[in-house]
Structure 1
Amino acid sequence: MIITSLLDTDLYKFTMMQVVLHHFPAAQVEYKYKCRTPGIDLRPYVGEIRDEIHELCQLRFTDEELAYLGSMRFIKSDYVDFLGLFHLPERCISVTESAEVPGELDIVVKGPWLHTTLFEIPVLSIVNEVYFRNRHRVPAYDEGRQRLNAKIDMVLADPELRDIRIADYGTRRRFSKAWHEEVITTLKNRMGECFAGTSNVFFAMRHGLTPLGTMGHEYLQACQALGPRLRDSQIFGFEMWAREYRGDLGIALSDVYGMTAFLRDFDMYFCKLFDGARHDSGDPFQWGERLIAHYRANRVDPRTKTLVFSDSLTFPLAIELAKRFKGRCQTAFGIGTNLTNDLSYQPLQVVMKMVRCNGQPVAKVSDTPEKTMCDDKAYLAYLRQVFEIPG
């Protein structure tokens, strides 16, 4: 059994889920899975994946887990009470072989947003681990340890990087749960304060680390269907987030409509209200320069704000970004695949994105074109027009 705890997921799933409980409890959604890595045949593993998902749907939160969630300053008691009754509904997920793409799987989640949002991360973790345990029955752990320690040495050997803060964001694309835990314990033991924590709530609880995360793409995508009008959906999403968290969890996601559209909506009010923003597509250096200039134009000192980088980061790229922006703003780095699935094998680029909310198409339009995801071309064209996004 791969997933043994419902906490084995990213913190932002819980923070978004609380917003859903309090503001959008009736929303109905649909998610679809996609593997961006070409030439991968997952069909032999359909049965194993289904069996693991069945076991996932039997899990419940333990009293210890509920107490841990309740100890977080931004988690409210009624939400903890709800989680005490929660389980993932197996009837809402289907796993079949794709009839259109050879080797691909069709994994579809459809049902109430409140009851289905926690599927994404563990399902992706299951797909990864089932694939890699079948493909590499004797994993190259020694190679992985050598690579991991070499990355840590890059940071520890450079006195300019004493203030760097690197976090683990690697749950969804990890080689395995066991390797993920070894990576986290190595980072904790060797990096000291340079290791900021992990997005994985289970390992944060287990190892006394800081759980990290705020909002994900699905939240702002759903606001396309839930807000008053499409053009104001990003503004609506930020306002509802602020209403729920009252200044806490203040890192805004910047790439659901691209950086230009984000800056148009992220006005002086939001510049002052939010603690910073997260980069997840496009050139990170250009993004940082544009955001710093935007803060200055809105009479906000960028040195008081945090720029979080999380798009396909490696240690060398994080180090280069840290040095570029040192003293100009605060920075943080969330590294995923390069931490938890770097054992010399090609990692899987798997995602599961919301494609509909309340029966209406929703989309993410990324500054990295291959990250754009929508199964309705007419809606995607309309969204581009509304937000003035180049095609």
Structure 2
Amino acid sequence: MKQYNYPIIKTLLDTDAYKLHMQQAVFYNYSKVNVVAEFICRGPNILGCYSNILLDQINMMTSLSLSDKEYIYMTSFPFFRKEYLHWLKRFRYNITQVQIKNKNGQLNIRISGLWKEVILWEVPILSLISEIFHKNSNPDITSDIAVQYLDYKLKKFFQKTKNLDLSRLKIIDFGTRRRFSYDVQYLIVKRLKQKFPFLIGSSNYHISRILKILPVGTQAHEWFQAHQQISSNLKNSQILALSTWLNQYKNHLSIALTDCINMDSFLRDFNLFFSKSYQGIRHDSGDPIKWGEKALKHYEKLGIDPNTKTLLFSDNLNFKKIISIYKKFNNRTNVIFGIGTQLTCDIPNVKPLNIVIKLVKCNGRPVAKLSDSPGKMFCLDKNFIKSLYHAFKLPFNNKI
């Protein structure tokens, strides 16, 4: 088994943008809120053997801090506030918040503490698990092989789209959490910047800084999940989440995630005020074409020109899917594509891990993600799922 005597995660900014954006919103609005998050493997969990290596790497993360250059870089963005950035400069990962166990060969992880601190653990832990697993499972795979395969895919992409107007195509790297390795992600994004004019940014703040591209991201499911217990009324939890975000960021970072409950429930809460105020919405589960049609119908029903809004697609995309969705919607609205695992862990003979870390509790009470894809639903408390279905007037399946 490959051993490491060096840190894989070398900077606090080697994380997804939405984590820092959510962290700031939590810092100002919910600084005393406590949460619990757990690791989920949506496939065979044979990862327990890596628990000691993972724990060593997490221990190394406790020395990370925002450098002076990184701090100055962060001050260049108009939506970050000085008080938060001063706090972030003093922030250190707290190892006592993370419990890691090898339980009969399965990897168990539970993270608990103040939300404003716990929020930064997810992305680096997942990327560590992915890199440790893949480097041990595929010792002969090099970064050069990954880049060569990207070149092959880009050649096919340009061949298939030579008669297609791509002037409105925009693609973002969303590949940090389940990348083959940091080196692969960095070199993939670097090659895209060189050869692919449709790349507009990366979700990774560190890579964006080094390569001088735009860091992109707004909020994740945990933002809506936590509000299920922050809100005094469960049925209004999405409304509170959307309102708090708008109050925090005004005209910045205004792409809303739609599937913490499901698209239909989201649209019922996404009223005229929200629909006008938010730049657009993000798809992360369910049929992307059906979702897009619902979105456009919703905007048109409210008298909003869909061409003034943005649909961001981010669910398990590859270049083939992107072409199909782009053809369907590019002349009807603005479309952006966030491509993750199929970009940074798409290598011949390599099977990516399907791993996530999700909130399971907020302030000691259960939270849930329902989603538009049944396989993505997660909650530790069946009674709370029933309450959620009732609050949002969804038909409850007793088999859940």
TM over 0.5: yes
Whether contact under 8 Å (2:21, 2:218) holds in the other structure is yes
Match for residue 125 of structure 1 among 124, 127, 130:
127
Where does residue 75 of structure 1 map in the other structure? 80
3-state SS of paired residue (1:2): coil
The residue matched to 2:70 in structure 1 has which SS? helix
* 1:59-208 alignment, distance < 5 Å: 59-98=64-103, 102-139=104-141, 141=143, 143-157=145-159, 158=161, 159-192=164-197, 194-208=198-212
The answer to whether the 8 A contact 1:156-1:191 is kept is no
Corresponding position of 1:374: 379
Shift of 1:239: 0.3
Counterpart of 2:36 in structure 1 is 30
Alpha-carbon separation, structure 1, partners of 2:25 and 2:326: 32
User: Helix, strand or coil: the match of 2:15?
Assistant: coil
Q: Which runs of 5+ in 2 are unaligned?
A: 1-6
In structure 1, C-alpha distance between the alignment counterparts of 2:40 and 2:266, rounded to whole Å: 26
Aligned to 1:7: 13
Secondary structure (helix, strand or coil) at the match of 1:160 reads: coil
CA distance in structure 1 between the aligned counterparts of 2:105 and 2:305, rounded to whole angstroms: 51
Aligned to 2:363: 358
CA distance, structure 1, for counterparts of residue 82 and residue 158 of structure 2 = 41
Q: Does 1:321 align with 2:321?
A: no
TM-score by length of 2: 0.94
2: CA distance, partners of 1:294 / 1:106: 41
Structure 1: how far apart are the matches of 2:43 and 2:359? 19
How far 1:376 moved relative to its partner? 0.7
Partner of 1:387: 392
What residue identity is the alignment partner of 1:382? S
Q: Is the partner of 2:256 in helix, strand or coil?
A: strand
Instruction: Please report how far the alpha carbon of residue 154 of structure 1 lies from its aligned counterpart in structure 2 after TM superposition.
Output: 4.0
Is the Cα–Cα contact under 8 Å of residues 129 and 175 in structure 1 kept in the other structure? yes
TM-score normalised by the chain length of structure 1? 0.96
Residues 241-283 of structure 1, C-alpha deviations (whole Å, 9 max, x = no match): 0111112111010000101101100011111010000000000
Worse-superposed segment, 131-140 or 261-270: 131-140
Alpha-carbon separation, structure 1, partners of 2:377 and 2:17: 24
Residue pair 2:168, 2:335 contacting (<8 A) in 1 also: no
Alpha-carbon separation, structure 1, partners of 2:165 and 2:106: 45
Superposed displacement of residue 155, structure 1: 4.0
Tell me the SS of whatever aligns to 1:118.
coil
Q: Is 2:295 the partner of 1:291? A: yes
Q: Per-residue CA shift, 1:210-266, capped at 9, x if unaligned? A: 000001110111111111210000000000001111121110100001011011000
Structure 2 residue matching 1:15: 3-state secondary structure: helix
**Deviation at residue 188 of structure 1 after TM alignment:** 0.4
* Per-residue Cα deviation, 1:17-43 (whole angstroms, up to 9, x for no partner): 0111111000000000011122x4112
In the TM superposition, what are the counterparts of 1:337-352 in structure 2 within 5 Å?
A: 337-344=341-348, 345-352=350-357
Match of 2:253 among 244, 249, 255: 249
Which deviates the most, 132-141 or 237-246?
132-141
Rounded Cα–Cα distance in structure 1 between residues aligned with 2:144 and 2:43: 25
CA distance in 2, matches of 1:122, 1:276: 28
Q: Residue in 1 aligned with 2:3? A: none
Residue 67 (structure 1) shift: 1.1
Once the two structures are superposed, what CA deviation does each residue of 1:170-229 show, in whole Å capped at 9, x if it has no partner? 00000001111110111000012x001100000000010100000111011111111121
Residues in 2 aligned to 1:136 and 1:97: alpha-carbon distance in whole angstroms = 22
CA–CA distance in 2 between the matches of 1:379 and 1:151?
Answer: 44
Paired position in structure 2 for 1:224: 228
Post-superposition CA distance 1:271-328 (Å, at most 9, x none): 1010000000000000000000000001100011000000001110011101100210
The one-character-per-residue Cα deviations of 1:146-185 (angstroms, maximum 9, x if unpaired) are 4311332344342422321111000000000111111011
**SS of residue paired to 1:161:** coil
Counterpart for residue 21 of structure 1: 27
Match status 1:56 vs 2:61: yes
